[in-house]
Chain A
Amino acid sequence: MLRHINQFASPKNFYALSCKLVHYFGGACLLLFVAGVFGGLLFSPPDYQQGESVRIIYVHVPSAWMSLFVYIVMAGAGTIGLIWRIKIMDVIARSSAPLGASFTFLALATGSLWGKPMWGAWWVWDARLTSELILLFLYLGYIALQSAIEDPRMAARAGAILALIGIINIPIIHFSVEWWSTLHQGPTVSKLDAPSIHIDMLIPLLLMALAYMCYFISAVLMRARCDLLALERNSAWVGELIGERSR
């Protein structure tokens, strides 16, 4: 079993497979995005309280969700890489970090852009907002650590440990709205049993969420491919691959 996984996870096979995956998920992502954006901007109703500004929800909420999700992916992949020494996982963890940081940044920025008209300020020291900011710092710390350690193997393993320690913050961010009375919206969508959101808004939102997910998969694979090439530049399969291509 383990050998099976190892074979599948050999850099060479992964490189070939990821090429296909990038295309599939990239295509899906494009379609979903178009559908989601049209749905969100044209076909969904304005909110009776927030008016048209509610349309920010279609970019804010998926970004915020992804910012949490990507962290979990990063920590998970890092741990697998750490324990079973699977190079691919190291690479995926490493490539997730900038994407996660981007999503976090987007959640913060779109949140601010939404907060200004809603709360009258770009920024309030609310628990969820601040903990999202911490998440950004966690990502930045991870990236800083990776760039401070030159040996890639060592960097990946150190990063995995850091990500694991930092995962304690994820539940805090998620539950912060419940634990502290805050300005920020409580769970509206993610209450699974009875989403308290209009179906016309829910559908584009879910479309966008899916689009983000597909985007993440294809983007992380693209990054991983680069890292893999750079890491394995001295190995035989890269030589063959590039040799064939340049011929």
Chain B
Amino acid sequence: MLPEIQEFFHMGGYAFYVWSSYGLCFIVLVLNIIIPLCREKVIIRSIAIQVHRKQQK
């Protein structure tokens, strides 16, 4: 079992290329999800503050 897993990760000598492509894709795709999520939070908070102010007035 273990050698098989090792072989799988070895990728016939192309480990670096294969895993960094997949890794890069993963990172970029996840970043593109996280960034709008964070931005949404920030925006909602700032709008909430704005709304709050208006209500107080």
| A adjacent to B, CB under 8 Å | yes
Please tell me if B52 contacts chain A, counting CB pairs below 8 Å.
yes
Tell me the nearest residue of chain A to B50, going by C-beta: A233
A-B contact pairs, 24 of them (CB 8 A): A46-B12, A51-B12, A51-B13, A52-B12, A52-B18, A53-B12, A53-B17, A53-B18, A59-B22, A59-B25, A63-B25, A99-B32, A102-B28, A102-B32, A109-B21, A110-B21, A110-B25, A114-B17, A225-B36, A226-B43, A239-B51, A242-B44, A242-B51, A245-B48
If A102-B28, A230-B43, A238-B47 are given as contacts, then 13 extra A-B residue pairs at C-beta distance below 8 Å, sorted by A number, are: A37-B22, A52-B11, A52-B13, A53-B14, A59-B21, A113-B17, A117-B14, A117-B17, A222-B37, A225-B36, A226-B39, A242-B47, A246-B51
Q: In the complex, what's the smallest C-beta–C-beta distance from B43 to chain A, in angstroms?
A: 5
Closest residue of chain B to A225 (Cβ to Cβ) is: B40
Q: Is A120 an interface residue (CB 8 A)?
A: no
Instruction: Verify if A219 is at the interface (C-beta below 8 Å from B).
Output: yes
Known A-B contacts A116-B17, A243-B51, A246-B51; the reply to A222 vs B40 at CB < 8 A is yes
Q: Is the interface of B mostly helix, strand, loop or mixed?
A: helix
Q: Give every chain B residue within 8 A of A110 (Cβ-Cβ).
A: 21, 24-25
What is the interface of chain A mostly: helix, strand, loop, or mixed?
helix
| Most chain B CB atoms below 10 A, which of A41, A102, A110, A226 | A226
CB–CB B47/A113 < 8 A: no
Query: Which interface class (under 10, 10 to 19, 20 to 34, 35 or more) fits B?
Result: 20 to 34
List A contacts of B13 (CB < 8 A).
51-52
A202 to B29, CA, bound (A): 22
Q: Which residue of chain B has the shortest Cβ distance to A40 in the bound complex?
A: B22
Q: Decide: A60 near B21, CB < 8 A? Known: A55-B11, A242-B44.
A: yes
Q: Are A113 and B12 in contact (CB under 8 A)?
A: no
Q: Within 8 Å CB of A41, what residues of B?
A: 8, 22
> Using Cβ atoms and an 8 Å threshold, which residues of chain B touch A114?
17, 21
Whole-angstrom distance between the alpha carbons of A238 and B48 in the complex?
Answer: 10
Query: For residue A221, which residue of chain B has the nearest CB?
Result: B36
- Does B33 lie at the interface of the complex (its beta carbon under 8 Å from any beta carbon of A)? yes
